[in-house]
Each structure stands twice: as structure tokens, then as C-alpha cells.
Amino acid sequence: MGMIEIISLSKWFGDFQVLKDITDTVERGEVLVICGPSGSGKSTLIRCINRLEEYQQGKILIEGLDIHGRDVDVNELRTHIGIVFQQFNLYPHLTVLKNITLAPVKVKGVPKAGAERLALELLERVGIHDQARKYPAELSGGQQQRVAIARALAMKPKVMLFDEPTSALDPEMINEVLNVMKDLARDGMTMLCVTHEMGFAREVADRVIFMDGGIILEEAPPEEFFSKPKHERAQAFLREIL
């Protein structure tokens, strides 16, 4: 049984079909990189997994459980699936520490002291424990994204979704975020990353998926995908970004 099973998933925005009959299985501990041109449906696909997007056809199972099952509580489901966004989406009115402790305290009922201890540990892990009392706007983009990762990890998720986590960053800050992600991957986290960071994919991905027009065009281990992509459009895409 895979950690995440996506079965014949289709989704429409009005008349436009963004996802066309997608089927894929992600194993526990697997690091999957999803790439493809913009509008190919890759972000939509991972956002379906924690139900930030609804889909019209098909199924998604997490550890064998249909995420649209009748007795599934969507809020409970989301506590198991961390998500990191392109635009960080930190809460600007709360300190870094409060950004991280909000969900553990309010959703899981973790006592405040325990949540803060965990938050400081996570900040240490992402390398910015000295910024806990600051507000998001006082941090650089790279630091903000690392806080966002810590915020997601604070719920102790089984899966982490990354939706273009480095696309909004200045070039010199990309690596500090990728390093945190690599660290997480080596720790055995199941990760789905929509990213164009091919260095990251080469280093830690178990598998690369190339999407275009709402379908998975190509799927291969990173070495194979980068050295000899089979599909013409994947070749064109790689020429474009490398």
C-alpha cells in the first residue's frame, strides 16, 4: 500500500480540464519532484491532496483512506499533510513563534509551553532559532520560507507538500531553503515538491514527474529524466530551464 494513491483523478475549472485522469502512487518516504510548464496542473494536483482544491472525478487515498470518505474530517486530514506555499503566507500580525504554535495549540490542543518548545526546536532545525520573537516582515524571504516550513512541521505531518517553495525567492536565498528540504528528505519525510530546482531533484528526488496539459507525460528517476528525457516536450522544457 502506497502512502498516497492517486487514482484516475480529473478536475475541471469550469469548462477547462486541468487534470486529466491522473494516476500515481507515492510510497512512504519517497521524494517526488513534479515539474512542468506553468498551467500544466502540477500545483493543482498537490493542492488536491490536502483538499485545498476539490476534484470532480477519481480518488485520492492516504494510507488507504479515501480523503473524501464520509467519516473524514477535513481539518483532521490536513493536520497530517503539511503544505508550503510559493508566497510563504506567514501571518504578518503574529510573531514567528506564534505563527508556528497557532495550529498545534488551537487544533491539537498542545499546551502552550510544549508547543513553544517544539517551535524553538524546529526553528533551530531550519537554522533561525534566534528570530523567534520577530515578525515575519522583519525576516528575509529565505528566512520567511524556512519559518513556513517549520510551521508545517509543527503539526508533525506524515506528508509534506511543497508548491514552488523557491520561486518567489531572490537567487541567493534559494539554497538555504533547499538545504532545509534536503535535510527533511534525508530524514525520511514523504515529500511532493512542485519545483524547477533541478539540482535539488538530482540530489534527493527518488522520482521525477513531468506534467503538461493536465497529464503526466513522463516519469523517471532523476538521472534518467535529466540525461535522456524521452518526450519531446520534456526535452524542450529542460532546454528552457537548464
Q: Which residues bind other proteins (CB under 8 A)?
A: 50, 52, 75-79, 82-83, 85, 87, 89-93, 102-103, 106-108, 135-138, 148, 151-152, 154-155
> Closer to other proteins at the Cβ: 76 or 124?
76
> Closer to other proteins at the Cβ: 27 or 170?
170
Please give the Cα distance from 102 to 118 (Å, whole number).
Answer: 12
Question: Of 227, 210, 208, 222, which is closest to residue 33 (Cα–Cα)?
Answer: 208
State the minimum distance, in angstroms, from the CB of residue 74 to other proteins: 8
- Dump strand ranges (E) for the chain: 4-13, 16-26, 31-35, 57-62, 65-66, 81-84, 159-163, 190-194, 207-212, 215-220
DSSP string, 35-70: E-STTSSHHHHHHHHTTSS--SEEEEEETTEETT-T
State the minimum distance, in angstroms, from the CB of residue 165 to other proteins: 13
User: Quick count: other Cβ atoms within 10 Å of Cβ 100?
Assistant: 28
> Closer to other proteins at the Cβ: 36 or 82?
82
Residues 6+ apart with CB under 8 A from 172: none
State the minimum distance, in angstroms, from the CB of residue 50 to other proteins: 6
Please give the Cα distance from 226 to 203 (Å, whole number).
Answer: 12
> Closer to other proteins at the Cβ: 95 or 235?
95
> Closer to other proteins at the Cβ: 63 or 138?
138
> Closer to other proteins at the Cβ: 56 or 87?
87
State the minimum distance, in angstroms, from the CB of residue 87 to other proteins: 5
State the minimum distance, in angstroms, from the CB of residue 159 to other proteins: 12
State the minimum distance, in angstroms, from the CB of residue 112 to other proteins: 14
- With vertex at residue 79, the alpha carbon angle to CA 74 and CA 81, rounded to the nearest 5 degrees, is 95
